[in-house]
Structure 1
Amino acid sequence: MATILITPRGYAKYGAAYKKQLESAGYEVDWNDTGKPLPREVFVEKTKQATGIIVGVDSLDRDLLLQCKNLRSIVKFGVGLDNIDLPTCDEMGIKVGRCIGTNSNAVAELTVGMMFAAARDLVGNVIHVKNREWVKPTGFELKGKNIGIIGFGNIGKNVARMAKGIGMHIYAYDIFEIPQQVLDQYEATQTTVDEILTSCDFITIHTPLTDETRNMISTGEFKKMKNTAILINAARGGIVNEKAIYEALKNHEVHAVCSDVFTSEPPQQEAWIDELLAMDQFILTAHIASRSQEAEMNTVIRATEVMLNNLE
């Protein structure tokens, strides 16, 4: 019997009914219900036998894919495909799908939450209070501030919707021309990355990680920003150069940086990384932006649909 391998823990937690749907369609389902990531060697051996894979962050590189003689479909339990060797999939005739839009609201909400947290020093102040230090920082409001949204897809549009409700001035950049009716809907102005860097109080990033976007924000870009600016990256590690974050915060070139991602997750233990993590003005979460109950359920449903369609 053809096997569908499912590695994301979110699918095991929320997808029992959809596992049965795959089984009813004639597939054996091998899912990761351990509550832990699959060890690499286990993932490799299971992948070699699978007809379909619903995958999270596990790497499907060329060397592994070439050993997968039965594999016909891969579905990313999310959006970013940077952990899947797409040219090799194309070469081997493996269909690749993803779950566009299922977690857009969740990621946008975390992005805006980070904006509030950084503007009012919430994380640092909570830590101070827990340490019995009654410190009372004076922050600033989001209303009336300029927000620059780099990447105006589903997540970027949701951030714009929320920012509009707050009363912010919205500037958007995308590699594609944004239709005027879309800009009007969000009361947004399309502009350049350079203009966003120099004029915006908040800058949020919602682009995929590609050769073009790797280190898109680095030392030169930080020097263009206001020293009161707050940068939020809820996209992918590697888009913002972390050593440049460290230098910019150390030199007070920007007010704060918030990130849900890091190039190496979890971050490696190096002196400068330890110092960065200890800074009050750097907020790092453990790649949780998409992890709401609603988003997990949406993604389970979409991943199942895409897999079944790919295997028809």
Structure 2
Amino acid sequence: MSKVLVATEKPFAKAAVDQIKAVVTKAGFDFALLEKYTDKSELLEAVKDASALIVRSDKVTAEVIEAAKELKIVVRAGAGYDNLDLEACTSKGIVAMNTPGQNSNAVAELAFGMMISMARNAYNGTAGTELRGKKIGIHAYGNVGLYVAKIAQGIGMEVYAFDPFVDAEKIKADGVTPLASVEELYATCQYVSLHIPATPQTKESINYDLLRKMPKNAVLVNTARKEVIHEADIIKLMNERADFAYISDIAPDNKDAYTPFEGRYFFTPKKMGAQTAEANINAGVAAAEQIVDYIKNGNTTYKVNK
């Protein structure tokens, strides 16, 4: 019988675990749970007889893959999957998947929560500014980008997007203005909401030359990955431009360097884009359903490795 292991150092909510278990057991599979583990050895032991694995931000390394002798599929409950060693999965014939779209609204709402807080000076009693009428650029127009666009339109912002992998006509159909280059996006928009994945091509690609093009009172909003930011370049720009602000859904490695820029930055204490009850359940249940569909029907719709 197939065994589905949910291994999460940062646990799912109980409601999510209950629904994941219901999906798995209804399909006739065994269910196992490893939560709040403190040592990698616990994960290595737990995966030994697992046919399928669901993780959140947990690192599924080559060592984990090697220990998981029965593993057929691993699913990252969320959109990003840089915590999965895709090459190791492929070498062992293991299908790796993500659950795109399940956390999208939660991430988009967090982006706007941080933007509004920055615009209103963290509610410190002083006069702030409004988002209505401002230009926002969406860098990567995927599931999260679409939700960001919808919220921005509801607020009354002018919405632009750049994504070389999305047809311009589709972007236009959503009432968003597509731009021809990433440079044009940053030069046009006071706010830029960042949604690119961390890949060898994108790491540290958000750099000084790009960010200095942004208009006066620029705000960079990062709910993607910290690795895509050139951290030293952000500090350089903030030293040069007192009007530039940076807000991010995870603190950069050099967060102490931001101390002189009080009021112009905000970092969540840990990655919180998917930290809502709804997203927690949606991503976990989607992962379980994808596992069942793959094992029973061979469906590889959300496969991310070759």
TM-score, scaled relative to structure 1: 0.86
The answer to whether residue 258 in structure 2 is matched with residue 283 in structure 1 is: no
Separation in 2, partners of 1:218, 1:64: 34
1:130 corresponds to which residue? Answer: none
Q: Which residue of 2 aligns with 1:256?
A: 245
| 2:84 counterpart of 1:84 | yes
Q: Corresponding residue for 2:3?
A: 3
Determine the C-alpha separation between the residues in 2 that align with 1:219 and 1:32: 43
2:16/2:285 contact within 8 Å kept: no
Alignment of 1:180-195 (within 5 A): 180-195=169-184
Aligned match for 1:307, one of 286, 291, 300: 291
Deviations 1:94-136 (A, max 9, x none): 111211111111111111111111112116x2xxxxxxxxxx4
Distance 1:17 1:185, change over 3 A: closer
d(CA) in 2 for partners of 1:39, 1:146: 46
State the distance in 2 between where 1:215 and 1:238 align.
6
Moved more, 161-170 or 151-160: 161-170
Cα displacement string for residues 51-106 of structure 1 (whole angstroms, at most 9, x for unaligned residues): 11101111112233233221101011101110111122122111112111111111
Q: Percent identity, please.
A: 30
Match of 1:161 in 2: 150
Question: CA, structure 1 residues 54+75, in 2 after alignment: closer, same or farther (shift >3 Å)?
Answer: same
2:136 corresponds to which of 143, 147, 150: 147
Distance 1:19 1:277 in 2: 45
The corresponding residue for 2:113 is 113
Give the residue type in structure 1 aligned to 2:56.
Answer: G
- Secondary structure of 1:165 counterpart: helix
Q: Distance in 2 between matches of 1:2 and 1:181?
A: 41
Change over 3 Å in CA distance of 1:84–1:207 after alignment to 2 = same
How many residues are paired up? 292
Offset at residue 294 of structure 1 (A): 1.2
Q: Which range is displaced more, 175-184 or 301-310?
A: 175-184
Of 153, 163, 167, the match for 1:178? 167
Question: 4+ residue stretches of structure 1 with deviation over 4 A?
Answer: none
Could you list the runs of 5+ residues in structure 2 that have no partner in the other structure? 297-306
Question: What does the per-residue CA deviation read over 1:192-247, in whole Å, with 9 as the maximum and x for residues that have no partner?
Answer: 21012122100011111111111111222232223410000001121112232233
Q: Residue 7 of structure 1: SS of its match in structure 2?
A: strand
Name 1:52's counterpart in structure 2: 52
Deviations 1:221-276 (A, max 9, x none): 2322234100000011211122322332233265211100246xxx5xxxx53242
Q: Contact 1:73–1:94 (CA<8 Å) still a contact in 2?
A: yes
> TM-score normalised to the size of structure 2?
0.87
2:189 aligns with 200
Q: 1:277 deviation in Å?
A: 5.5
Give RMSD over aligned pairs.
2.1
Question: Aligned pair 1:293/2:282, yes or no?
Answer: no
> Which residue of 2 is the match for residue 22 of structure 1?
24
Deviation at 1:184, TM superposition (A): 3.1
Q: Is 2:39 the counterpart of 1:39?
A: yes
Pair 1:233-2:217 in alignment: no
